[in-house]
Amino acid sequence: MTEPAIAFFDGRLMPLKDANVNIATHAFNYGTAVFEGIRGYWNDQEEELYVVQVGPHFARLQRSARVLQIDLPYTVEELVAHTKDMLKANQFREDVYIRPLAYKADAAIKVGLSGIKSGFGMFAVPMGNYVATGGIQVSVSSWRRIADNMIPSRAKVSGAYVNAALSSDQAKVDGYDEAIMLADDGHVSEASSSNLFMVRGGVLVTPPVTADILEGITRQVAIDLAREISVPVEVRPIDRTELYSAEEIFLCGTGVQLAAVISVDRRPVGEGKPGPITLALQELYYDLVRGRSARHRHYVTPVYRG
């Protein structure tokens, strides 16, 4: 396993151990940072590292930064170039997870956003499966998903992930793998850190972006792939009890990838194993991310040949 030795921080590559912030930094004290999670997948046959949807991830980071009035001094193209340089410097030859952060960088005791300087840093670490993708057990959390007019749900705000941590930890203490969160109106929102899809009547259903979800990049890839194989997709509100009668459920996101759900609140989903639509989408997705599918190459960016 490659040790993550080189980070991109304050405009240059440097040893990760030196890419530090002061404990008085505003983002550390108030959660005033935004971030992305981006995956890179190693292809042994081609000896190439493919980064998935790197441009859309950085475009979303820019949108998140605008919400918190964080100045991000790089274009999407520049951020992609810095990412590739950092990965090359680390000489990764395995699957990796990339974490860029834009944050309020002043050492300031001040509740606010205006007039506080911004910073940016990025690092990467080796990462395999975040959760088991072959079948996980989930519960509906007692913690509600924070509403968009409380902390913007379509921005990846670091402080907001306390909400996700509380629900995820509750689920794991109770013996589940993951938590599903309801929006304030009682409809299904998403899992603690991933989007949700279910199948009912052969139709793939996912909550709308107005259900206090993160506008997931992997979510859109899953929709694209479903339409490719002629699976009808419906974007609409989902009631909690629909989860108990769904034929299939899966979670998707950069971290969880496409993870089949086999039970909700101890009730089996379908036959209690991954269903045919989930399996078909998983196969397509895992070929896509490793650059094995020629028709899906526009989703991935090669690091060493690019």
Buried b / exposed e along 51-81 (16+ C-beta atoms within 10 A): bbbbbbbbebbbebbeebebebebebeebbe
User: Which amino acid, residue 123?
Assistant: F
- Residues 104, 32: Cα–Cα separation, whole Å: 6
Q: Structure tokens of 232? A: 């009808």
Residue corresponding to tokens 């078909």? 280
Residue with tokens 């980064």: 51
Of 171, 165, 162, 161, whose CA–CA distance to 141 is shortest?
Answer: 171
Question: Is 284:225 a contact under the CB 8 Å cutoff?
Answer: yes
Residues in Cβ contact with 197 at an 8 Å cutoff, skipping those fewer than 6 apart: 204, 205, 206, 219, 222, 249, 250, 251, 252
306 forms beta bridges with none
Angle at 171 between CA 100 and CA 177, to 5 degrees: 70
156 is catalytic: yes
- Of the listed 84, 156, 172, 273, which one is catalytic? 156
Positions marked catalytic: 156
